């Protein structure tokens, strides 16, 4: 039988981010971005189902039986907390466990750009943190929430699926709601949130049109809304939101975003040069008057140029962020090349024998 707790403790000890358990396959851990098998023996299907189902809350178990997949949180007292996605697949069942640190790291401890501290001081509007799964979005948002919690007095409401970082009350009142456990959907919780006197609302993920619409409306009414999207740049983030709306409403949402959007922070995690750990490369867009005009006129293809020329406002492109990490000797030229958008700028840093054909 699979000893899930033992494997999770091993994950923590190795500093890994994810544990992959899939029937008929060896257990694997993601360490420093690489997925590694930790055993040669595959997990038999019959030994996989019971351990996974046994750790599910009743609500998640009912959803799993109905939909063949479920998201939930799992904790080992005194050891750690994990976000879990369990699912059925061709050979049986599987589960992915994402490790969540018990203590929220600060922006300074994470080594994130100083401008994020200033962005966190906004009183209203929308701040979006974007990137693919595993890019550290939740960690960055948690650090921003912690910065607000330490320096402001107000009500912070989080809506997550499931709750990841558990925040302790410091200067702020903290209310954390889990979709499925405390509310039916993100949209339902946002409807309710507007009557709960929040100063800050964190939306774990803007998955659908209704959630996006309510989040933008909340930002317009004077609430600071923090949210995530699975997009890889500021321009694609703005396009994603606008294109989610019917064509006849897109001009209106452009106008709303042009005034309510405060910043888009897009990030990816790159392997450190010494092979131990990863560092964040972050693109930062700040909504200046020029950027707001671009959004309002629907010329999102010009956002990248505004970011390039907006360093005095704290903006930086992804390629600029990667160049800084390279100059600081935190990443290798090969890693920089693979992560860059304009790879032509990075060929000069590669050894001639390693330069790929473009």
Range 176-208 burial, b when 16+ CB lie within 10 A, else e = bbbbbeebebbbbbbeebeeeebbbbbbbbbbe
Residue with tokens 């949210």: 227
Quote the pLDDT of residue 80.
Answer: 87
Cβ distance 204 to 187 under 8 Å? no
State pTM to two decimals.
0.89
Quote the pLDDT of residue 356.
Answer: 54
**112-128 pLDDT, tens digit each:** 999 999 999 999 999 99
Averaged pLDDT, 91-100: 94
**Phi, psi (5° rounding) for residue 160?**
-140, 160
- At 354, the pLDDT band (50, 70, 90 cuts) reads low
Q: List the domain boundaries for the chain.
A: 4-100, 107-316
**290-325 pLDDT, tens digit each:** 999 999 999 999 999 999 999 999 999 999 999 999
Task: Quote the distance between the C-alpha of residue 206 and its chain's center.
Answer: 11
- At 276, the pLDDT band (50, 70, 90 cuts) reads confident
Domains 4-100 and 107-316 share a fold: no
**207-222 pLDDT, tens digit each:** 899 999 999 999 999 9
Quote the pLDDT of residue 243.
Answer: 96
Class in CATH terms, 4-100 = alpha beta
Quote the pLDDT of residue 351.
Answer: 73
Q: What's the CATH fold of domain 107-316? A: Rossmann fold (3.40.50)
Average pLDDT of the residues of the chain = 93
Cβ distance 315 to 284 under 8 Å? yes
Q: Which helix (H) or strand (E) holds 155?
A: strand 155-160
Residue 229 pLDDT more than 80? yes
């Amino acid at each position: 039988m699979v000893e899930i707790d033992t494997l999770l403790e091993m994950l923590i000890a190795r500093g890994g981010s994810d544990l992959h358990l899939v029937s008929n396959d060896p257990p694997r851990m993601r360490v420093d971005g690489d997925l590694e098998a930790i055993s040669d023996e595959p997990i038999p299907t019959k030994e996989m189902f019971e351990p996974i189902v046994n750790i599910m809350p009743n609500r998640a178990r009912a959803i799993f039986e109905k939909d063949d997949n479920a998201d939930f949180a799992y904790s080992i007292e005194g050891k750690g907390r994990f976000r879990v996605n369990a699912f059925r697949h061709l050979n049986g069942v599987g589960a992915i466990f994402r490790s969540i640190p018990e203590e929220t790291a600060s922006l300074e401890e994470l080594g994130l750009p100083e401008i994020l501290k200033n962005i966190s001081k906004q009183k209203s509007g929308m701040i979006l943190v974007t990137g693919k799964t595993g890019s550290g979005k939740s960690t960055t948002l948690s650090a921003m929430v912690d910065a607000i919690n330490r320096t402001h007095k107000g009500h912070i409401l989080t809506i997550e699926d499931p709750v990841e970082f558990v925040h302790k009350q410091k200067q702020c009142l903290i209310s954390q709601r889990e979709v499925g456990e405390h509310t039916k959907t993100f949209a339902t919780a946002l409807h309710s949130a507007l009557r709960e006197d929040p100063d800050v609302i964190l939306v774990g993920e803007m998955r659908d049109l209704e959630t996006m619409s309510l989040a933008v409306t909340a930002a317009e009414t004077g609430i600071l809304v923090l949210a995530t999207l699975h997009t890889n740049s500021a321009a694609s983030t703005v396009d994603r939101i606008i294109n989610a709306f019917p064509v006849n409403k897109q001009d209106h949402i452009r106008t709303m975003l042009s005034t309510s959007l405060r910043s888009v922070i897009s990030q990816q995690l790159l392997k450190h040069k010494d092979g131990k750990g990863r560092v964040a490369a972050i693109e930062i867009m700040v909504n200046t008057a020029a950027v707001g005009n671009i959004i309002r006129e629907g010329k999102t293809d010009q956002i990248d140029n505004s970011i390039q020329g907006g360093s005095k406002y704290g903006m930086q492109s992804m390629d600029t962020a990667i160049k800084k990490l390279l100059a600081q000797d935190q990443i290798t030229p090969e890693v920089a090349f693979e992560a860059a958008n304009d790879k032509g700028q990075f060929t000069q840093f590669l050894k001639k024998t390693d330069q790929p054909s473009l």
